[in-house]
Amino acid sequence: MIQPGLERIGLLLKNVKLPWKAIHVAGTNGKGSICAYASNLLTLRTVRVGRFTSPHLLDRWDCIAINEEPIKESTFKEVEKRFLQLNEEQNIKASEFEILTATAFQLFNDLGVDIGVVEVGMGGKLDATNILNNQAVSVISKISYDHQNFLGNTLEEIVTHKAGILRPGVPYVVNPRNEWHIQIYIDDIAKEVGAGPRIDLDSEDLRVNLYRTKIWNKNTHKLVGFQKDNAVLAYVAVVEALKAIGQPSSKAWELVPGLKKKFPGRMQIVKPALIFGSYREVLVDGAHNEDAAMILAQYVNQKLRPGNRKPHSRPVTWLLAMSDGRDARKFLSHLLRSRDNVVTVEFGPVDGMPWVKPMDSKDLLRTVHDIHPDMTGFCNGSDVLRALFTAKHLAELTDSQVVVTGSLYLIADVLRIHKHQNGFTKLNEINAQERHRVHNAYSAGGLQRKPRSPQKKEKTSEESERELLQQEIEKLERELKDVEKEEGSIP
């Protein structure tokens, strides 16, 4: 259950001091990426860094990391148990997220963190993470409509919550892609609380020492616009945090290679070889609101649709699930094109977040058909594994790219399947059933297969496993060579 307010987290952490410095990140889109970039950059320095982001991806404890290594389950549960007992003994009635936040901050203390990178759970002003009193810098990412039932129905109300993380005398930085009136409103709130100064992202110092450097261009040239925005926000936040703990930042550019790291669940390419065969890639991205949909659409149209500006550019097969209460119509209207295909499904229960429920997959498919009445669509209930096979056969019939999106909880389900695909039984049976289902639907509906390039003969599971292993070996060899080159290129 979501319970905004700082009273309960204050009671949980009543006798806990926080000696580390925090990079506190609020906003609607990009928070997780900024935190991941910042944490990874800091691991390149001789500092101990903690990262707390939400929601978790695969396991409840993987939202807490020390030097980019997820905390061990046993360590997490040992500290969590103390706060669960305190909550019960003192009848605090803390929410699951408040218990999680207290656990993360206590672990940062116990494990000797110098800098903690902390993502706001929801909003900012009344979020449990806002109990922090040790900020080195406050970061506000792109703001848009989200969680209106808690944060308000206007952008001004939402901004008031997000800017609630600002602190007197603490520098702050704002994503410049926010509308001008939003930036002014944030600055007004900063003046009221005495926060600042605001870090100028167009300063001469950054132009000379970052944007125009070879090392910046080398490590960010493959990033699209919003990714570069998040990288810059992370970089300047790291520089401020290093200053706050007395670390020199004169050679901060040396950290830039850390921006090349990929982050799970965000514009991530996976190859579930036993499902899709070793030659087909799947894009997974946790976009779940309108602004994120626009960003994902931009990426898909640029990278995955050859001949994007032509009427018959390559279609996409979308595998979709959304949380109940989301505005599916607004989200999907930015993604779908008339020649695309859709498979809807419902994600499974979310550990530690029993209030999170999926949208009914039938309702989601109805929304798809409200937007594009003739779009090919399949509904798979709550069977995510089967939905992947449905998407596979749709993609093969239509020579389309599979993209999984709509919810981080769906992404988590897909990544778990990808991680443990060797442990599933009856894959061949499910594969045959979904192939039959998709082909029958095309035949019965008189639908034409879209032109596609010749495909390789599908490999057996053993052949796929061998090829996947060889690809992993080759990937590791390439990464080792890249590391050697980067070490040699830094003066």
- Specify the pLDDT at position 448: 45
Confirm if 174 and 140 have CB atoms less than 8 A apart. Answer: yes
> Pick the residue with more confidence: 54 or 252?
54
- Specify the pLDDT at position 450: 44
Taking only the tens place, the pLDDT of each residue in 263-303 is 788 888 888 888 887 668 899 999 988 888 998 998 898 88
Confirm if 158 and 152 have CB atoms less than 8 A apart. Answer: yes
- Specify the pLDDT at position 363: 96
Taking only the tens place, the pLDDT of each residue in 464-483 is 556 666 666 666 666 666 65
| Mean pLDDT over the full length of the chain | 86
Q: Is the dihedral of CA 370, 266, 174, 95 positive or negative?
A: positive
- Specify the pLDDT at position 455: 40
- Pick 268-458's CATH classification: 1.10.760.10, 3.90.190.20, 3.50.50.60, 1.10.1070.11: 3.90.190.20
Q: Is the pLDDT of residue 12 over 90?
A: yes
User: Which tokens go with 383?
Assistant: 């069977």
Domain ranges of the chain: 17-260, 268-458
Taking only the tens place, the pLDDT of each residue in 391-444 is 999 999 998 999 999 999 999 999 999 888 776 778 889 999 999 999 988 887
- Specify the pLDDT at position 261: 66
Taking only the tens place, the pLDDT of each residue in 199-241 is 999 888 888 778 888 888 887 776 767 778 888 999 999 999 9
Please choose, from the candidates 7, 244, 4, 11, the residue with its C-alpha nearest in 3D space to the C-alpha of residue 134. 244
Q: Is the pLDDT of residue 364 over 70?
A: yes
CA distance 393 to 190: 53
- Specify the pLDDT at position 14: 94
| Confidence (pTM) | 0.80
Q: Which of 144-148, 214-218, 368-372 has the highest mean pLDDT?
A: 368-372
CATH number of 17-260: 3.40.1190.10
- Segment 4-14 shows an average pLDDT of 93
- Specify the pLDDT at position 457: 45
User: Which tokens go with 85?
Assistant: 């007992």
The lowest-confidence range among 12-16, 337-341, 476-480 is 476-480
* Exposure string for 203-227, b = 16+ CB within 10 A, e = fewer: eeebeebbeeeebbeebbeeeeebb
> Token pair 């998709």 is at which residue?
438
